[in-house]
Amino acid sequence: MKEELEKRSLELTATTLVGDLTSSSKTEKLIALLDDMSELQLRFENAKYVVLIDDCYAEFFYGELIRPQFLNEVEWSKLIKNIIKIRDHVRTNYGLEVVFHPHAQSHVETEEQIEKLLNDTDINLCLDTGHLVYADGDPAAFMHKHYQPIPYLHLKSCDLKVREKMQREGWSFAKAVSEDVMCESELGVVDMKASMKVLEDINFDK
């Protein structure tokens, strides 16, 4: 793997965990999976992050609602508890940093939900500009307001015309992805110039 990355002048920076973070038993399985992955990750000096994502509330390939779209306070408390549990396990055992990735069709997707997460934890973010716009957010404004807990970025755009067609025709998120709802910067609505200006203004060098 190292050899193939080096051929392409690439570096591994993170691994990713995705699962139902409202479930204690599934969180334990995520931790076990993380323990298995750590042996590989620790061989890469610059792979300092674990990107954590909550499961989608709609089935990824078929689109049916399989979990509540909105969490009540008890469910939200479980989500927070399990995020912190994974964060602490990773930090204590491996010296790596968990960054939480707000994701389309998950329980942390809108700016309001992300701000609630930041208010209820000290977790850092992997902010994805495409997913934030998908949930009607403004990446440049959000980064300007909340840049301190954002050490890790996914820079891409979102084609809202595809999202509208997805909503109109009842597509699954997987179908929308196959139709390029997440896209290159010039094909979507994310204002990359404004986003890059914010990064310059805050001297982003994470």
Distances in Å between the alpha carbon of 28 and those of 19, 33, 52, 143, 182?
10, 9, 14, 32, 31
Q: Are 181 and 159 in contact (CB under 8 A)?
A: yes
Alpha-carbon distance of 192 to 63, in angstroms, equals 30
Position 106 scores a pLDDT of 98
Position 150 scores a pLDDT of 97
How would you write the pLDDT of the chain (206 residues) with one tens digit per residue?
A: 999 999 999 999 999 999 999 999 999 999 999 999 999 999 999 999 999 999 999 999 999 999 999 999 999 999 999 999 999 999 999 999 999 999 999 999 999 999 999 999 999 999 999 999 999 999 999 999 999 999 999 999 999 999 999 999 999 999 999 999 999 999 999 999 999 999 999 999 86
Position 192 scores a pLDDT of 95
Alpha-carbon distance of 85 to 101, in angstroms, equals 16
Position 140 scores a pLDDT of 97
User: Could you tell me the pTM of the whole model?
Assistant: 0.95
Position 133 scores a pLDDT of 97
